[in-house]
Amino acid sequence: MAKILKIIQEGDPVLRKKAELVENPKSPEIQQLVSDMIATMRKANGIGLAATQVGKSLRIFVVNIAEEKQKEEIYVFINPEIKDVSPDKSPFEEGCLSVEKIWGPVMRPKKLTIKTLNKNGDLVKIRAKGLLARVIQHEMDHLNGILFIDKAEKLYKIEEKK
């Protein structure tokens, strides 16, 4: 059974640590962590979640770029490495489950190629553009202790609706 994990908030030093390589992606512990991360991302209505955000300093992140709630499109990245990024960049409003109620535009390359282990521990190469490329770069930053607020051109605070 997958568990819902606590999402660490900005200010906790684990978010600023460079995450470590996963030595045994097929181990039951890692498989459990990946399932828990997917469940946690889903519960939080997130489109991406890095292991550092649940207090595990490991090079893992999960992404769900579903167009609609019914159609999930989940990707698992273990020990990912971005190989190529396009020279053309675009701004996009980003937010983060670890930085609540703050949004801001971040410039990032539009396309990239990433080499990674998938959920089964198999090495795959993914060419990404659009929202997927965006989320991959945001999550990859988490693994290197970087938050989008470090890169955003400006930040907006979203007022709580009463």
Q: How far is CA 44 from CA 7, 41, 146, 160, in A?
A: 9, 5, 21, 17
* C-beta closer to Zn ion: residue 22 or 152: 152
Least distance to Zn ion, CB of residue 104, Å: 12
**Catalytic residue chosen out of the listed positions 67, 81, 93, 139:** 139
Identify each DSSP E strand in 86-153 by its residue range. 89-96, 99-109, 111-117, 123-129
Between CA 15 and CA 52 the distance in angstroms is 6
139 is catalytic: yes
Residues 6+ apart with CB under 8 A from 83: 112, 113, 114, 115, 125
Between CA 131 and CA 134 the distance in angstroms is 5
Q: Which two tokens stand for residue 120?
A: 């089964």
* C-beta closer to Zn ion: residue 18 or 26: 18
Least distance to Zn ion, CB of residue 28, Å: 27
Least distance to Zn ion, CB of residue 53, Å: 6
Least distance to Zn ion, CB of residue 97, Å: 6
* C-beta closer to Zn ion: residue 58 or 96: 96
* C-beta closer to Zn ion: residue 119 or 142: 142
* Residues engaged in binding Zn ion (CB under 5 A): 96
Number of Cβ within a 10 Å radius of residue 11: 9
Residue 44 sits at φ, ψ, to 5 deg, of -85, 0
Active-site residues, by number, are 139
